Amino acid sequence: MTYKSAGVDIDAGAELVRRIQKLTKGDVSGGFGGLYPFGDSYLVAGTDGVGTKLKLAFLLDKHDTIGVDLVAMSVNDIITVGALPMFFLDYFATSKLDVDMAESVIAGIVDGCRQSSCTLLGGETAEMPGFYAEGEYDLSGFAVGSVKQDALVDGKRAVAGDVVVGLRSSGVHSNGYSLARRVVESSDRFDYGDALPGDDQGRSVGEALLCPTRIYVPAARAALGKYDIKAMAHITGGGFYENFPRCLPDGLGARFDASLWSKPAIFSFLQDNGRIADAEMFRTFNMGVGYMMVVDGAVARQMESDGYFGEHDAVVVGEIVATDAKGEARVEVEFSTQ
């Protein structure tokens, strides 16, 4: 199976981004968030939704963590340039308002904001009869943070030989669910309620897929200012291949060794049951690493010595390499069967 066969065309999305960039040429933008000059700082904004992970929340009637996903998708983007989140707004839309369900969703949003040390400033609840299926809703969120202009993490100082430090993910996070759902729903062996093979937490397939997205703000906050962080990337839709190059200048790329970290059992389950190629897995999912930092090798060793790796569940996952002088940043992954 592929993400495209499940209905999502990553190439089409990338083409739309290129066209939008032409229309907005001259505006300041980071790799994952929009930058707006404000005095000696930048305001950094990001917006996102939860995708078809919502379908699992509906199916399993579990709504108390989907709000964490919503916050995570935006705040994890804006911290990639060194910005710390200040406030968050949400948009909740449904056909007929179920107050208990909506409260459960918003409780998750509040939890996500607490984890991010930002304020839930407000939001909008829209009731639109006939527009959504009964019992379903849609979510989007908007995060704003700030960073001093002289503290901006923009990737320009990255050089070949630098080390990529990866922060482990909590699972699939909030991308690739059209493919994940296709794998489960086309299987004649497993359903969402069945035990996930090899899962060290004893969860069902559905429970593992609904595990909320890890919020990386605490880990980023602990690193910024203490260590020389040259670049950062949030591994979301498009996986390693589409996301990591966004934090690098032309002429540099990255080589990852997939044997350096263990993968949550959910990824082996999806790959085996969907007969998904390695490259497709790494182009669709985070594969156990949801956030990355580029640092000098000496800094990586200092982070490990200081206990940062253990405290924030981090591991070295690759290195920065040179490409053609004018070549676009690219990613190579050395696959393993681990």
CA 161 to chain centre: 25
SS (H, E, C) 80-98: HHCCEEEEEEEEEEECCCC
Rounded-to-integer distance, Cα 196 and Cα 263, Å: 14
Q: What is the mean pLDDT of the chain?
A: 92
Domain with CATH 3.30.1330.10 in the chain: 31-151
Q: Which CATH class is domain 163-334?
A: alpha beta
Rounded-to-integer distance, Cα 57 and Cα 62, Å: 5
Rounded-to-integer distance, Cα 327 and Cα 318, Å: 20
Query: Among 203-217, 284-298, 324-338, where is mean pLDDT lowest?
Result: 324-338
Q: Are 270 and 182 in contact (CB under 8 A)?
A: no
Q: What pLDDT score was predicted for residue 277?
A: 95
Which tens digits make up the pLDDT trace of 48-90? 999 999 999 999 999 999 999 999 999 999 999 999 999 999 9
Torsion of CA 19, 22, 28, 29, to 10 degrees: 20
Q: Which two tokens stand for residue 18?
A: 């290129």
Q: Which residues contact 46 (CB under 8 A, 6 or more apart)?
A: 32, 33, 34, 74, 75, 77, 78, 142, 143
Element (H, E) at 168: strand 163-168
Rounded-to-integer distance, Cα 287 and Cα 317, Å: 12
What's the pLDDT band for 30 if we cut at 50, 70, 90?
low
Coil/strand/helix, residue 165: strand
Q: Tokens 């489960």 appear where? A: 184
Domain with CATH 3.90.650.10 in the chain: 163-334
Rounded-to-integer distance, Cα 189 and Cα 216, Å: 35
Q: DSSP string of 115-162?
A: HHT-EEEEEEEEE-TTTS-TT-EEEEEEEEEEEEGGG---STT--TT-
Coil/strand/helix, residue 239: helix
Average pLDDT over residues 249-261: 94
CA-based nearest residue to 217, from 70, 114, 91: 114
At the fourth CATH level, which superfamily is domain 31-151?
Answer: PurM-like, N-terminal domain (3.30.1330.10)
pLDDT for residue 294 is more than 60? yes
Q: What pLDDT score was predicted for residue 151?
A: 96
pLDDT for residue 26 is more than 60? no
CA 108 to chain centre: 17
Which tens digits make up the pLDDT trace of 125-180? 999 999 999 999 999 999 999 999 999 999 999 999 999 999 999 999 999 999 99
Amino acid at 268: S
Rounded-to-integer distance, Cα 110 and Cα 105, Å: 9
Q: DSSP string of 39-61?
A: TTEEEEEEEEE-TTHHHHHHHHT
